């Protein structure tokens, strides 16, 4: 639910990184935080447990600067991946403008990916949203690990609508900005 | 592709909201008032300019409010329409506005919780009237492009420039 404020000439859009626990959602945000120019981004807020698992969310605002007189900003959020944090996950989806699903490519995480994707559908449905209608991309993360599923296999299970997907190794930054670029362009398109 | 329902705020609405908040600060003696939407985006700040990061503050305030809504539901309440956090020097009071926005008031010992609470009540009624009118208008408007296509083109170029090669 982007807000276009004609008085202060600001546009803010909310992008949520979703996916199973330990899939690399927070790592995506941390990499973005490290790499974009400091004047472009705000503080990275992490509500995490003592063991650095996301408890509620991570939050990073990224500023595009003024576009045709409108200060344009993306608010990037992650959700906690573990199954039992669903209440918090649902809250973060409120007002979402675009979604990135960060899938863990390891074979043994396929079920967790499928479960998380089903959960994403369910939680969006509670806000009256359907993944078919909102800006949505998938990131297949951890492509550098030895025991990974093939892209075809991941596509069959996770991408029935054929949305754009990106292969990534988020700890090394590979694919992180390709994913962000794609989802942010889709979000901008949905505004015009 | 359409995004989630967006809404826009014109200058007239914005100034009406600000006037209500300014009046509230005058009668309550609170330091500053922020209006945040339920998705965590800051709409406006009135009063003493905060020294903290207001973007982060807005996202945390919305999360705080949403989490408390869920806690209310768990104990069989429909909602906690307001929240109070007491600090040593500064305190904050959060109140729901039409289930769309959150009014966040920061105050110190120049006023009292009782006065803030009292004045928030009528302020929320005034803000609710404006917000409901605004959303009714948004619903009544036929779906139409809200930003010129040149905006999207320029924004895409900027996305490439900022995020390219990183």
* pLDDT score recorded for residue A110: 98
Identify which of B37, B148, B160 has the shortest CB distance to residue A181: B160
Query: Which residue ranges of chain A lie beneath pLDDT 70?
Result: 1
Domain count, chain A: 1
Write the CATH number for B89: 3.30.450.30
What's the domain range around B154? 11-163
Specify the pLDDT at position B142: 59
CB A55 within 8 Å of CB A47: yes
Asked whether residue B51 is assigned to any structural domain, the reply reads yes
Residue B1: predicted pLDDT: 46
Cβ contacts of B7 on chain A, cutoff 8 Å: 1, 3-4
pLDDT band per the 50, 70, 90 thresholds, residue B3: very low
In chain B, how many domains are there?
Answer: 1
Test B67 with A91 for CB contact under 8 angstroms. yes
DSSP string, chain A: --EEETTTTEEEEEEEEE-STTSSHHHHHHHHHHHS-GGGB---EEEE-TTS-EEEEEEEEEEEEEETTEEEEEEEEE---SGGGHHHHHHHTTT--EEEEEEE-BGGGHHHHHHHHHHHHHHHHHTT--TTTS-EEEEEE-TTSSSBPPHHHHHHHH-TT---EEE-BGGGTBTHHHHHHHHHHHHHHHH-
> Burial level of B119, CB count in 10 A (0-12/13-18/19+)?
buried
Q: Which chain B residue has its CA at the smallest distance from A85's CA?
A: B67
- Please indicate whether, in this complex, the C-beta atoms of B53 and A135 are within 8 angstroms of each other: no
Task: Please tell me the predicted confidence (pLDDT) of residue B70.
Answer: 86
- Position B58 in a domain: yes
CA distance A13 to chain B (A): 9
Residue B136 pLDDT more than 60? yes
Assembly ipTM: 0.86
Which residues of chain B are within 8 Å of residue A87 when distances are taken between CB atoms?
A: 70
pLDDT in tens, B27-85: 999 999 999 999 899 999 999 999 999 999 999 999 999 889 889 989 999 888 899 99
pLDDT on residue B160: 93
Q: How far apart are CA A136 and CA A186, in angstroms?
A: 8
Kindly state the percentage of chain B with pLDDT values over 70. 94
Residue of B nearest to A39 (CA): B162
Q: Indicate which of B1, B2, B3 best probes the interface with A, i.e. most A CBs within 10 Å of its own CB.
A: B3
Select the residue from A29, A68, A136 to test the B interface by mutation, using most B Cβ atoms within 10 A.
A68
What is the CATH classification number for the domain harbouring A98?
Answer: 3.40.50.300
Is residue B145 predicted with pLDDT exceeding 70? no
Whether B1 maps to a domain, the answer reads no
Euclidean distance between CA atoms B2 and B56, whole angstroms? 27
Q: Residue B3 domain-assigned?
A: no
Out of A94, A133, A173, name the one closest to residue B66 (CB): A94
Domain encompassing residue A74? 3-191
Token representation of residue A69: 């007189």
Of B5-14, B77-86, B150-159, which gets the smallest average pLDDT?
Answer: B5-14
| Token pair of A192 as six digits | 């015009």
Q: What is the pLDDT of residues B92-113, one digit of tens each?
A: 999 999 999 999 999 999 999 9
> Has residue B141 got a pLDDT over 80?
no
User: Which residues in A lie closer than 8 A to residue B55 (C-beta atoms)?
Assistant: 42-43, 61, 73, 75
The band of B2, judged by pLDDT with boundaries at 50, 70 and 90, is very low
* Of A1, A92, A185, Cβ closest to residue B159: A185
Residue B123 located in a structural domain: yes
B5 within some domain: no
How far is the C-alpha of B162 from the C-alpha of A64, rounded, in Å?
8
**A36:B39 CB<8 A:** no
Contact A40 B14 (CB under 8 A): no
Contact by Cβ (8 Å): A17, A29 = yes
Higher pLDDT, B160 or A54: B160
Q: What is the per-residue pLDDT for B165?
A: 75
What is the overall mean pLDDT for chain B?
90
């Amino acid at each position: 639910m982007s807000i276009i404020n004609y008085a202060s000439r600001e546009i803010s859009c909310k992008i949520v990184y979703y996916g199973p626990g330990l899939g690399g959602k927070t790592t995506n945000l941390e990499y973005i935080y490290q790499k974009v120019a400091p004047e472009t981004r705000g503080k990275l807020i992490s509500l995490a447990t003592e063991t650095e698992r996301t408890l509620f969310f991570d939050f990073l605002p990224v500023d595009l600067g003024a576009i045709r007189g409108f200060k344009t900003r993306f608010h990037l959020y992650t959700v906690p991946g573990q199954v039992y944090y669903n209440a918090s996950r649902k809250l973060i989806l409120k007002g979402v403008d675009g979604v990135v699903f960060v899938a863990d490519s390891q074979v043994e995480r396929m079920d967790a990916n499928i479960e998380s994707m089903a959960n994403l559908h369910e939680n969006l449905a509670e806000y009256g949203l359907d993944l078919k209608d909102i800006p949505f991309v998938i990131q297949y993360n951890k492509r550098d690990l030895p025991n990974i599923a093939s892209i075809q296999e991941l596509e069959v299970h996770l991408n029935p609508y054929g949305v754009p997907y990106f292969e990534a190794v988020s700890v090394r930054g590979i694919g992180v900005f390709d994913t962000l670029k794609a989802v942010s362009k889709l979000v901008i398109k949905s505004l015009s | 592709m359409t995004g989630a329902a967006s809404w826009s705020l014109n200058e007239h609405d914005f100034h009406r909201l600000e006037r209500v908040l300014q009046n509230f600060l005058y009668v309550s003696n609170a330091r500053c008032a922020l209006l945040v939407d339920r998705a965590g985006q800051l709409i406006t700040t009135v009063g003493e300019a905060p020294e903290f990061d207001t973007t982060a503050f807005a996202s945390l305030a919305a999360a705080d409010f949403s989490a408390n809504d869920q806690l209310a539901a768990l104990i069989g309440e429909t909602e906690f329409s307001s929240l109070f956090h007491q600090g040593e020097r500064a305190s904050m009071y959060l109140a729901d506005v039409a289930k769309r926005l959150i009014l966040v008031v920061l105050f110190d010992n120049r006023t009292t919780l009782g006065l803030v609470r009292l004045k928030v009540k009528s302020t929320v009624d005034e803000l609710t009237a404006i917000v409901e009118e605004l959303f009714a208008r948004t619903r009544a408007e036929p779906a139409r492009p809200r930003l010129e296509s040149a905006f999207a083109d320029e924004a895409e170029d900027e996305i490439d420039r900022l995020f390219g090669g990183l």
